Amino acid sequence: MKYVIFTILVLVSLPSNAFAGVEESWEREQVRVGEQVVYTLEYRDVTLQKIPKKGFLYPTNKSADTLPIANIHVVLDKPGKLQITVSFLQAGDFVLPISWQDTSRNITNARKKINVLSSLKGERKVLDIAEPIQFSGPYLLRLLFLLFFGIICSTAIAYCIYYFMKKSQREPVDAILQKPYAPVYRQQYADLLNSLLSTGHIPHKDFLFLLSGYIKERLENMYQTPYAHMSFVELEDTLRKRGKISKDEYKKFQIYFDSIKYMPNDELIPLPDAERMFQYWKGVL
């Protein structure tokens, strides 16, 4: 009887949140940039205070030009269970900004971390990798092929030298007959972006495609040099010099634009995020 009374007194003396339970888990402990992963929070006897919303997730100390660290795809909040589908846009260790309050009004923040690896580490883009030259014949055929290839290259180089030498020796054309050089300015992608933003319904992939075209279009207008065929890796020196972007900041942009290949076709980007991104690049360029 003494033990029963003692047990009852212990249970009564426990705080009201002693029976509250919260369990955090990630679908995988480690993912790569751009991969979707599910976070699960199972709880009882607590009240959720802070839950991230669908869309881009920014650092707590974000400024006007801060890039998002993640993209929240799905937020499913059921009684006793919260599930969030997210893909991260940067490498590192992250904890989702979630908090809850127990019956004693104590507020606790989420602690479960996930490790995000860079999708570019040790990798190269498919388009950056040239197909190897393979020989399947005997050695003599390989040697003949190399000789033939060398003759073609030598002939092409000699022709280029001859062409430019002849061109430099031409008599100057009458200045009266020459038309003055007129720089070409285009704003096709700027008009398309403004048109897309005016609809309010903005597919994420379409927005990034047009924004990439807009950046290259602005560079072409500035330098009168074609940039449309160049990748973001090839544009790094030009953009960093023109926009005074740091190397780390540019790496974030590169990862963000590369994440388009992981996005569903029907994913939308909120209008404020799209407008802020568009205005950022207008200011840089």
Tell me the pTM.
Answer: 0.42
DSSP 48-77: EEE-PPSEEE--TT--TTPPPSEEEEEEEE
pLDDT score of 114: 95
**Cα 159 to the chain's mean position, in Å?**
44
Chain-centroid distance of CA 267 in Å reads 14
**d(C-alpha 108, C-alpha 101), whole Å:** 6
Regarding beta strands 81-88 and 107-109, do their DSSP bridges make them parallel or antiparallel, or are they unpaired? unpaired
Per DSSP, the residues of 104-116 read T--EEE----EEE
* 10-residue mean pLDDT series, the chain (285 residues): 49 44 93 93 92 88 72 92 93 92 91 87 41 50 75 86 74 52 71 86 85 83 76 73 74 78 80 86 78
Note the pLDDT of residue 39: 96
pLDDT at 199: 85
* Bridge partner residues of 50 (DSSP): 99
Q: CA angle, 221 as apex, 220 and 227 as ends, to 5°?
A: 5
Is 86 within 8 Å of 26 (Cβ atoms)? Answer: no
CB 46 within 8 A of CB 34: no
- Contact yes or no for 200/271 (Cβ under 8 A): yes
- Burial pattern 98-116, b for ≥16 Cβ within 10 A else e, equals bebbbeeeeeeebebebeb
Quick check: 116 and 31 in contact, CB under 8 A? yes
Beta strands per DSSP E along 51-199: 55-57, 70-78, 81-88, 92-94, 99-102, 107-109, 114-117
Residue that has been written with the tokens 């953009």 in this structure = 239
What is the pLDDT, as a whole number, of residue 197? 87
pLDDT of residue 191: 86
